Every structure is written in structure tokens, then in C-alpha cells.
Chains A and B, each alone.
Chain A
């Protein structure tokens, strides 16, 4: 029917991720239609009534991702997610699960990241019981055969090829590898092709046994239900799962880069893609709010500061976006640019120069004296409003909300995280300058470029 331009696709994806943490604390306890509890077996649960449409969204997050792999098992977490989702359980084959899911009108998917693996199901509200039983069986009743695993390996290898062909996704993959080199976050989430090809069902079973236990998971349900009834269902269905002994992951927080890293790759693309990335605060760090706002002011929305800097003397870039991805053991701040291949060197220079100097920037009208304050644009105020808008808009989608809640329950380490928007409201221009100084001033960066093949050849000739 239509083709909608996805100009800021990358940014939207990041926005959703960035919203994962704050959403739970959007509302005060009195006005919140949600309730949370922990089952005796350790499963964290959050229920949130949303009666706009007759849908129920259930998301289970598992504290297992590529961070929990080794180089020798890199790719196992993602491969396991595929197998659990599509290759059946002890009582149903993969085809039977697919058929059941369709019959109940369910959207059924999962995704794996550095920190977590997240399983989502969304379906008509009358089917909530099926959704809960299905999620429990799919996640916890492991019965994979080597034959099924071998079939799914081919699918995963195709996914890896697809990622490699997509300059944006491939670029992001390279960013994480370079930025977190030597840290578990530096391992590609999709894994290594040789590890995936050689994977044995025993390895997946061991990984599953270790991490897919209720006290390492969180469940969020958002939708058209009554919390009391939903709580009873959750207790009845997930309660019998047994708690397991589990060592919490001992992973060091990522450190600022001591030395800049540069990487360029050639691909059959029409444009050049440039990524400039820094280590940022992790998702429990108090600097996260300043970094959220700094990212908005510098690289998002209408004519942000970095855009102005890159276009003041020459029109160096065609498209610019900036994202902050806060993980549990470190964050990534990524500027992504689309540009003419001939402008890569100049754009990199200008961007790095500006980011380094952003610790001196006046982000708010309050940074100015007298009448001048009324003639300048309030980048900080604008960033706050845009974040508030994104947070409110996220409430329109039950699945986004459920996914955010399920992630938050496992990622949050603070006793009283407070309301996200209150933190945002309290952050001032000095906080942004301090964050810029710490993360862009002291830290070095990773610069990744993907260029058209012919441009790379021409560059070599020069």
C-alpha cells in the first residue's frame, strides 16, 4: 500500500532501546496502573494494565547475551534464541508451535543483545493464558535435537550474511567490536560463523541450563487485562519452575578508550557511511541522564548542534544521527553519518573537533546573561521536551512498553531509581558539559567508515 521514508530508522531503533530503562519510572506509584512482585522462585514480574485495545503483550527477558559467551562459544546465545523460538519443545515440534501461535493471532519474536535475550508475544487479550503457557514452554522446556539445530544454523548464517550486506547494521557491528575491543561487549552478537557452524546441541543445552532459570529472568505483561487475574495466572503457570543456583556475571565495566581506533571497509554501496563512537556511561550510572540529553542536543531533532558544526563552513554531511545505547557494563555513544566519500576525512576532523569542544558549549538559555538569553535557542530545553515526547509516545504501544519493562527489571541495579523524567528535568547545562568533558574530552574514539568500492580505489590512487 505504501512506502514510508525511514529517514531516521537507526535513530528510532536506538530511541526504543534508550527508552527501555526509563519507562518504568515515568509515573508515580499513585497514578501507575502497574504492579510488580517476585515469585518465590525468583522470577521478577511487572503487570501494567492498558485498556486502549483488546491486546495483551507478554515479554520475558533472560539475563543472558553475548556478554556471557567466550570467544570459543561466540554466537551460542543468539543461536539458542533462534532454536527456542522456532525449533519446538518437549511436547510440540517447531511446526506445531508456529501453527499454535498463528491460530491464536500472535506476533511472536525474540532478540538477543550483549546483555539480554528478550522473547515477545503479542496477541488478542482473550488469549493471555495461551501466551503465558507458550512462553513458559518455549523458554524452559528445552528439547532440541542436533538435526533441528543444524537446520537453524543455516538460517542464522543467512542472517549474518544479511547483516554484512547492510551498511548500517554492519557498521554498527564494527563499532561495537572496535569500541569494546577486549571487553565481552566487543564480541559480535551474531557470533562467529565458524562457531555457529560447529555448534553442538550439548553446548546449547549447557548454556540453557545455566541461564534459562526463573531467578535469571523477568516477565512483563502489558495490555487489556485485570492485574489481579493476571497475577494469579502468572503464579500458577510460572510458579512451579524451580529456582537454580546462579553466579551473577562478574564482568568489568567498560573503560574509556585509551587510544583511538580507525577502521575502513569497502562495500558495493552508493554512499559512504561514517560512524564515530565513544564509550558512554552504563545504564545505572548517574551520568546517563546528562548523556541522554547531550545526545539529543548534539545529534538529534531539528538542526542539532553537531549538524550546525558540520555544515557551518562546508556542507560535509548529508544525514546525521546520534544515539546513546546504555548497557549494564558500559554504554556506547555513536554518531552516524551518511556522506559523500570524498568528505570523510574533513567530516571526521570537524566532528571530532566539535565533540571535544562541546564541554564548553552553552546548551541552555540560562548560560547567557541579560537580554542575550532571549535571543538564543535553548537546546537543553528542546532536548528535554523531545525526550518527554518520546516517553509519552512509547505509551501508545503495549509491546514497546512491555519490552522496556522486562529489560528494566534485569538491568536496574539501583534501589530507588526514581522517575526518569524527574532526573531529566533536574539535569542542567553544567551536567551536559561535564559529561562531554568526561566522555568526549578524555576518552578516545572509534572511527568506522564503509565506503563504495570505487571510492576506496580512487582514495588509494590519491
Chain B
């Protein structure tokens, strides 16, 4: 079934040419090409037209995110961003919400995002309100305390989810508990430690003219969207010269087994690996590896479920940052099978590390990865977010258009070299969440 490495290598040139030829004849999946508009205030707006619904999604990207959180101030990025969505006047808030407009906040590794979704006919009203509060937020003690309370709850709810807790633990040890390794919603101590000064400083540093980025998917023409953004978003200040610390680099901890004790029926067993810096090629290889390992029936980890009888939930998850990436492979197993699950997971990863993928497996993985990307970005909001995140990561917003080319261009030899580099067991951490006193 599997071809030899030599045979695979010999085919590479021919296959690469065939793929490129095949790709060049393939129509682009998006009806409208995304583009970058420069607004008069000096900010950029990524824009893609989409007529699938009478809805507009505007995602406002603010650099920083978790990477900009200093040690001991976990949760600062979320808190500062969330405060910009506090509408001071209840009647104004109700007016916006009356029309079905939705607003939310997300914090990613290298940015935070304020999102607005509304009927396109209400975009003017929605942007008028959002622009006012985001550009002139009120950081009062009462508001700060309210949001801190909410964050404390979100943090606890996240701790109640083993997979979330496991990911948080891996990031914490790789990044020494700060920056990328900080807790998204903070800890009891860090929330206490964050004062109004910290929030104002964070806001002043990142919510600035040169740094804020818009990403829009809408049925409206760009000539209708652009004037609204230009009219309402003119008050962001110029960025200051000093621009803080660069994101902390990852490091491998001395103790490479992390244990979070929980009295649960299942134990989360995960292994996390560090990835090289993000590039167009690495993103594509990382995505292929994520799909190959843990997405859907027939993935490498699927066998732990189908034949190994070890789990219902198996999966892989990739997190990219400007400086590197983190890949997790995991399963959730009955607590008595924890030892068996660790061995089986490690064996699956070791086999892939040593033997790599075959050409046939890569072809299947590529098909699934392409379709999965289409599905993941079918709706407007996730697509606007993907464009923004790729832009922030330095891959460029138009990675949306050429991500498929990048996926198709990865050869088996390249993916295997990537796997060899990434899945090194000596450079991983093991995360266990559950009843860990059992063998």
C-alpha cells in the first residue's frame, strides 16, 4: 500500500508540476476577491463582498492580544478590549440591539478583536455607536470591577472544560506564564493586580491610528462601507514611539509533564509540540498536519478511537503566533485507561515522526484540508476574522485566496521534513487533566 520513500521522492517533481497545472485551471472558490482599502485616516480595511445574506460583519483588529500581556497581569488584553464595548447609555445600547445588531470581543494570540454583525441596512447606526465607545471608552472603577467579575466566571467555566484547561496549561509552560502563556481571562491574583493605569496604558499603546485594522465581509459595495468607516473612525490617536516588549519566545520546560487534578470520569491526555515561526508554507504544512493527525474519521488519531477503544473525543489543534506555533494532539479517555492512552498516543505520534506520510495519505489529507477550510470560512464572520488574523500574523489578508495553492504545493517530502522537525518527542510536553492519582 505504502510507496517507498525513494519512489515518492522520484515522483515529486512530476507531481508538483501536475499539481500546479491542476491548480491553475481551478477557479478560485470565492466569488469576489478580497482586497485591502486604505482609509483616509491612515488605517487599512480588508474587504470582501459576499451576497449570501443581507448582513455585514465588521471585525476591528487591535494588535497586542495575549502577546502584549506582561507577567502577573493575565487577562489585561481581554479586559481592556471588553471595556471598549461598554455602552455608557443604556438607551443607546438598546437602540442598537433593537435592530438585532450583535457585538462581541475575542482575544487571539497577537491581537484582540471587536466584532459587529448587523443587517447591512443598519450598518450606519451600528458603526456610529460602536465607533463612539471604542474610540472614547470610559474606564471607570465600577465598569472595571464588573468586567473583572465576568472574566472570573469565564475563567472558571474554562477550567471546568478539560480540553480548554489542557491547552491553557501547555501554553503556560511553553511561555513561562506570561504573554502567549498568560491566562486569557486572568487569575484571581492577576485581576486584582490590574489597575486603571494598566488598562489606560494598554489602550493608549494599541488602539491607535496606525495599528487598528478593519476586516469586513458584506453584501454592500465597498463604496458604501468605506465612507462609513472613514466618517466614524477618525478619533484614534497616533501611535507612540515606544512600543513595549517583543513577544516572549517559547522555551521547553524542565519538567515536561503537567498534571491538573480533577475528580472526573475521564482524563484528558494531550501532547503539545512547538512549531517553527509562521510563514505561508509553514501555515499550510501545519494545517495539513493538524488535519492528518486529528480531523475526522480516518485521521491518525482516529485509530485510538475506532480500534483502540480508548476515547470518543480525539483531535489535534494548532495555534499560530507571530513567533511560533503550538500543536496539540489529544484524547479524552476513561480515567482507568490513562496509562494505556498515554502509550497509545505516544506510539501514534512516534510512528508518524519516524515513518512520515505516504503520497496517498497526503492526497487524501489535502482534499479534506481544502474542503475543511472552505467550510470553516463559509460564513461572513469567520471569514472576516481569518483575513484579519492572517494579516496580523504577517501572511497577508490575501492568504484567503492563495491558501489553497499553498496547501496544494506541499509535497510529501516537505511535509515529512516538517513532521520530523515538529513531532520530536524530546521537545514535547505531556498534559494530563483528570484523576491523575490512578496509574
**CA A98 to CA B370, docked complex, whole Å:** 17
Q: Which residues of B contact A388 (CB under 8 A)?
A: 100
Q: Which residues of A contact B164 (CB under 8 A)?
A: 3
CB atoms of B312 and A162 under 8 A apart:
yes
CB atoms of A302 and B97 under 8 A apart:
yes
Q: Which residues of B contact A161 (CB under 8 A)?
A: 265-266, 312, 334
Interface residues as binary, B372-416 with A (CB distance below 8 Å gives 1, 0 otherwise): 101100111000010001000000000000000000000000000
Q: Does B29 contact A (CB under 8 A)?
A: yes
CB atoms of A165 and B159 under 8 A apart:
no
Q: Of B54, B100, B149, which is in contact with the most chain A CB atoms at under 10 Å from its CB? A: B100
Nearest-Cβ distance from residue B410 to partner chain A, whole angstroms: 16
CB atoms of A318 and B153 under 8 A apart:
yes
Q: Does B99 contact A (CB under 8 A)?
A: yes
Q: Does B358 contact A (CB under 8 A)?
A: no
CB atoms of A1 and B306 under 8 A apart:
no
CB atoms of A102 and B319 under 8 A apart:
no
Please count how many residues in chain A sit with their CB below 8 Å of the partner chain's CB atoms: 70
**Which A residues from 127 to 185 make CB contacts under 8 A with B?**
151, 154-159, 161-162, 164-167
**Which B residues from 88 to 128 make CB contacts under 8 A with A?**
90-91, 93-94, 97-100, 102, 104-109, 117-119
**Which A residues from 285 to 343 make CB contacts under 8 A with B?**
301-303, 315, 318-319, 338
Contact partner of B297 (CB less than 8 A), chosen from A86, A154, A162, A164, is A86
Q: Does A37 contact B (CB under 8 A)?
A: no
CB atoms of A377 and B98 under 8 A apart:
yes
B161 to A, closest residue via Cβ: A166
Nearest-Cβ distance from residue A324 to partner chain B, whole angstroms: 18
Q: Does B162 contact A (CB under 8 A)?
A: yes
**CA A382 to CA B99, docked complex, whole Å:** 6
Q: Does A392 contact B (CB under 8 A)?
A: yes
**CA A4 to CA B319, docked complex, whole Å:** 12
Interface residues as binary, A95-127 with B (CB distance below 8 Å gives 1, 0 otherwise): 101110111111110000000000000111000
User: Known contacts A1-B389, A161-B334; is A382 also within 8 Å of B98 by CB?
Assistant: yes
Q: Which residues of B contact A52 (CB under 8 A)?
A: 31, 50-52, 378
Interface residues as binary, B318-336 with A (CB distance below 8 Å gives 1, 0 otherwise): 1110000000000011100
Contact partner of B368 (CB less than 8 A), chosen from A54, A105, A159, is A105
Q: Does A253 contact B (CB under 8 A)?
A: no
Q: Does A393 contact B (CB under 8 A)?
A: yes
Q: Of B266, B310, B369, which is in contact with the most chain A CB atoms at under 10 Å from its CB? A: B266
User: Known contacts A101-B297, A165-B162, A268-B262; is A158 also within 8 Å of B153 by CB?
Assistant: no
**Which B residues from 50 to 69 make CB contacts under 8 A with A?**
50-55
CB atoms of B154 and A159 under 8 A apart:
no
User: Known contacts A86-B297, A158-B334, A271-B160; is A107 also within 8 Å of B372 by CB?
Assistant: yes
**Which A residues from 1 to 43 make CB contacts under 8 A with B?**
1-5, 7
Q: Does A264 contact B (CB under 8 A)?
A: no
Q: Does A373 contact B (CB under 8 A)?
A: no
Q: Which residues of B contact A108 (CB under 8 A)?
A: 296-297
Which segment of B10-18, B34-42, B207-215, B359-367 sits at the interface? B359-367
A339 to B, closest residue via Cβ: B153
CB atoms of A98 and B298 under 8 A apart:
yes
CB atoms of A2 and B52 under 8 A apart:
no
CB atoms of A395 and B53 under 8 A apart:
yes
CB atoms of A154 and B93 under 8 A apart:
no
**CA A397 to CA B382, docked complex, whole Å:** 11
Contact partner of A151 (CB less than 8 A), chosen from B50, B306, B375, is B306
**CA A378 to CA B97, docked complex, whole Å:** 11
Nearest-Cβ distance from residue A15 to partner chain B, whole angstroms: 12
**CA A389 to CA B313, docked complex, whole Å:** 33
Q: Does A399 contact B (CB under 8 A)?
A: yes
Q: Which residues of A contact B266 (CB under 8 A)?
A: 158, 161-162, 165
Q: Which residues of A contact B320 (CB under 8 A)?
A: 1
Q: Does A369 contact B (CB under 8 A)?
A: no
Interface residues as binary, B165-203 with A (CB distance below 8 Å gives 1, 0 otherwise): 001000000000000000010000000000000000000
Contact partner of B378 (CB less than 8 A), chosen from A53, A165, A302, is A53
**Which A residues from 68 to 108 make CB contacts under 8 A with B?**
85-86, 94-95, 97-99, 101-108
A109 to B, closest residue via Cβ: B296
Q: Which residues of A contact B380 (CB under 8 A)?
A: 396
Q: Which residues of B contact A164 (CB under 8 A)?
A: 265
CB atoms of A86 and B306 under 8 A apart:
yes
Q: Does A381 contact B (CB under 8 A)?
A: yes
Q: Does A55 contact B (CB under 8 A)?
A: yes
Contact partner of A167 (CB less than 8 A), chosen from B160, B305, B379, is B160
Nearest-Cβ distance from residue A259 to partner chain B, whole angstroms: 31
**CA A334 to CA B305, docked complex, whole Å:** 33
Q: Does B157 contact A (CB under 8 A)?
A: yes
Q: Which residues of A contact B204 (CB under 8 A)?
A: none
Q: Does B307 contact A (CB under 8 A)?
A: yes
**18 other contacts beyond A53-B378, A382-B97, with CB at 8 A cut-off?**
A1-B389, A2-B385, A5-B105, A5-B154, A95-B306, A102-B297, A106-B368, A107-B375, A122-B371, A159-B313, A162-B332, A271-B153, A382-B94, A389-B117, A392-B55, A397-B378, A398-B378, A453-B263
- Top 4 A-B residue pairs of the complex, sorted by shortest distance between their CB atoms: A105-B371, A154-B309, A98-B298, A389-B100
8 of the cross-chain contacts (CB-CB < 8 Å) are: A3-B164, A54-B27, A105-B367, A151-B309, A161-B266, A270-B159, A377-B94, A395-B53
- Chain A residues near B (Cβ < 8 Å): 1-5, 7, 50, 52-55, 85-86, 94-95, 97-99, 101-108, 122-124, 151, 154-159, 161-162, 164-167, 267-271, 301-303, 315, 318-319, 338, 377-378, 381-382, 385-386, 388-389, 392-393, 395-399, 453
